[in-house]
């Protein structure tokens, strides 16, 4: 087991790995947003008379170039740099020297990190919401493709009432659209500008108008008061992960239905061969791995939510380093949702219902028959129900 971690590292390296080991890789996805946020902050400093127009343009240009260079893969956040903020600062200083230092006025790591994160989240949530609607659209297509097929409707996993492929797919489509709306609604907590809260206690001595960067960056509002900013950490993240959990539960339940329909005993559907895999010892089998993994990732998404809530619970107010760990479940949850959403529409396009195998229990029309008796004979439902039952199951 010595391979696992005990590499005989010197102490400072061990501490570095423990404190920054995950961060630096995670921060790569935030660099572009940090560039945007930093320009927004520079604009705010300039408006407050704390940065000359020349310096602003120098910084804006250098930040833009640094971001483009990063997007081309020319540099990455390294472990030694610990985090994306340091990496960007070094890139900036390398390009413009001393002037690079002027951007740190009136800003702390705490508000810098959070601003980049929220800009990222706005994009992520929009992408999640859009893709979720694409899954709903794919379900609409399933309904259209099999418009005439009657399906048993189940309760308690028992045939209960007549349903249809259209109703089955339509129910899921509606819930995915509900998830898309839920994801979009997380913007309420995300869309607040943290810049100017600095370490959580503002920027005493500096005449900064926080609304300038808010307006420049397109945030809906500045986050007030400054002490609320760090207190709020984890809440927007958790809400995104909560909505991802609901989304993945819906996806997992859809998968569970398809896994059931794909058994030899139901045999209601065939699955596209690209989405099934062979067996190492059973030549006859085609396994529905993709749908099992969608079902399984329900649990992974839920664990991401648990982790985020667990991280912030019981913390004293003010920034705590624990909050840095939020990125791990947040990015993991977003990625697994995006991957699942990416694969679902194509998978659904390949699902074929097999009408020949759909056999409805004759008793499934009992409730409808009782309803009709009520309308035709004007008797109470309970009485109609008794008549139908006695016909179905004569003593």
Q: Dihedral angle at the C-alpha atoms of 252, 121, 346, 269, nearest 10 degrees? A: 10
Q: Give the residue, chosen from 25, 79, 150, 363, that forms a contact with its own copies under the rule CB under 8 A.
A: 363
The stretch near its own copies (CB under 8 A) out of 36-44, 60-68, 211-219, 356-364 is 356-364
Question: By CB under 8 A, what part of segment 57-96 binds its own copies?
Answer: none
Q: Give the residue, chosen from 147, 148, 157, 394, that forms a contact with its own copies under the rule CB under 8 A.
A: 157
The stretch near its own copies (CB under 8 A) out of 36-44, 60-68, 203-211, 212-220 is 203-211
Q: How far is the CB of 211 from its own copies (least distance, A)?
A: 17
Question: By CB under 8 A, what part of segment 279-298 binds its own copies?
Answer: 279-290, 292-293, 295-298
Binding of residue 266 to its own copies (CB under 8 A): yes
156 catalytic residue (yes or no): yes
- CA 387 to the chain's CA centroid: 52
CA 370, CA 356: separation in Å to the nearest integer? 28
Nearer to its own copies, 39 or 129 (CB): 129
Binding of residue 147 to its own copies (CB under 8 A): no
Binding of residue 127 to its own copies (CB under 8 A): yes
Q: Give the residue, chosen from 1, 54, 356, 395, that forms a contact with its own copies under the rule CB under 8 A.
A: 1
Binding of residue 137 to its own copies (CB under 8 A): no
Binding of residue 372 to its own copies (CB under 8 A): yes
Any bridge partners for residue 287, and if so which?
A: 277
Q: Give the residue, chosen from 58, 213, 214, 239, that forms a contact with its own copies under the rule CB under 8 A.
A: 239
Catalytic residue among 156, 224, 317, 390: 156
Binding of residue 163 to its own copies (CB under 8 A): yes
Which residues have a catalytic role annotated? 156, 279
């Amino acid at each position: 087991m010595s391979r696992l971690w005990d590499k005989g590292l010197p102490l400072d390296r061990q501490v570095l790995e423990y404190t920054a080991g995950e961060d630096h890789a995670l921060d790569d996805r935030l660099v572009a947003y940090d560039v945007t946020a930093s320009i927004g902050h520079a604009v705010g400093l300039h408006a407050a008379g704390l940065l000359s127009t020349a310096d602003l343009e120098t910084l804006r240009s250098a930040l833009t170039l640094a971001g483009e260079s990063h997007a081309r893969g020319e540099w990455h956040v390294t472990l030694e740099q610990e985090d994306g903020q340091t990496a960007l600062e070094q890139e900036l200083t390398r390009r413009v020297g001393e002037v690079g230092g002027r951007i740190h006025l009136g800003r702390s790591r705490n508000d810098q990190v959070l601003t980049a994160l929220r800009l990222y989240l706005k994009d992520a949530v929009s992408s999640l919401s859009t893709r979720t609607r694409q899954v709903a659209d794919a379900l609409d297509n399933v309904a259209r493709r099999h418009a005439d097929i009657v399906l048993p409707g189940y309760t308690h996993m028992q045939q209960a009432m007549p349903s249809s492929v259209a109703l089955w797919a339509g129910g899921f489509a509606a819930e995915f659209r509900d998830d898309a709306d839920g994801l979009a609604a997380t913007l309420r907590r995300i869309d607040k500008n943290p810049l100017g809260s600095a370490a959580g206690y503002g920027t005493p001595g500096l005449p900064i108008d926080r609304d300038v960067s808010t307006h420049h960056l397109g945030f809906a509002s500045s986050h007030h008061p400054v002490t609320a900013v760090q207190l709020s950490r984890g809440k927007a993240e958790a809400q995104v992960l909560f909505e991802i959990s609901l989304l993945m539960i819906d996806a997992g339940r859809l998968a569970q239905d398809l896994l059931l329909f794909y058994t030899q005993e139901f045999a209601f559907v065939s699955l596209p061969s690209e989405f099934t895999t062979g067996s190492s010892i059973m030549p006859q089998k085609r396994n529905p791995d993709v749908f099992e993994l969608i079902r399984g990732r329900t649990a992974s998404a839920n664990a991401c939510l648990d982790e985020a809530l667990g991280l912030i619970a019981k913390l004293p107010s003010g920034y705590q380093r624990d909050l840095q760990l939020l990125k791990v479940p947040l990015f993991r949850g977003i990625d697994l949702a995006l991957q699942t959403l990416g694969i679902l529409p194509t998978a659904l396009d390949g699902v074929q219902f097999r009408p020949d195998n759909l056999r409805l229990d004759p008793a499934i029309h009992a409730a409808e028959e009782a309803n009709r008796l009520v309308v035709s004979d004007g008797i109470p439902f309970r009485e109609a129900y008794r008549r139908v039952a006695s016909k179905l199951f004569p003593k």
